[in-house]
Chain A
Amino acid sequence: MATDAARLPGGIDSRRLIGRARRVDLAFAGAGLLVMVVAMAMLMALVLDLLVDGLPRLSWDFFTNFPSRRPGRAGILSAWVGTTLVMIVTAALAVPLGVAAGVYLEEYAAKNWITDVIEINVTNLAGVPSIIYGLLALGLFVYGFGLGETILVAGMVLALLTLPVVIVATREAIRSIPQEVREAAFALGADQWQTVRIYILPAATPGILTGAIIGLARAIGETAPVITIGALTFIAFLPPAPIQPEFPFLSFEWLNSPFTVMPIQMFNWISRPQPEFHVNAAAAGLVLLAMTLLMNGLAIYIRYRIRKGMR
Chain B
Amino acid sequence: MKSIKKSIVLATAVLAANAMAWDATPGKPYDGATVKVLSVKSSQFEAHEARLASFEQQTGIKVVYDYVPFPNMKEALTTEMVAGTGDYDVVSVMDQWVPSLQMLLQPITDEVAERNVDLSDFPKAHLRHGQLNGELVGLPVRGHVQLLFYRTDLLKNAGVTAPRTWEEVVSVANAVQNSSDSAGIALPYGKLNGQNLMVWMNLLWGKGGDLFNAEGKPAFNSDAGVAATDMYVGFLRDKKIAPAGSAVFVEQDAVNSFKQGNSAMLPVWWWVRSQLTDPSQSTLNAEQVGFTALPSVAGADRTTFTNTWIFGVTDGSDQKDAAAEFLSWLTDPALERDVLLDPALSEVVSVHMSNLRDSEVNQRWGGMHQAAAEALATAEGMEFGSNWPRVAEILETAISTLASGEDTNTRSVLDKAAAEIASIR
A joins B in a complex: no
Which A residues have a C-beta under 8 Å from some C-beta of B? none
Which B residues have a C-beta under 8 Å from some C-beta of A? none
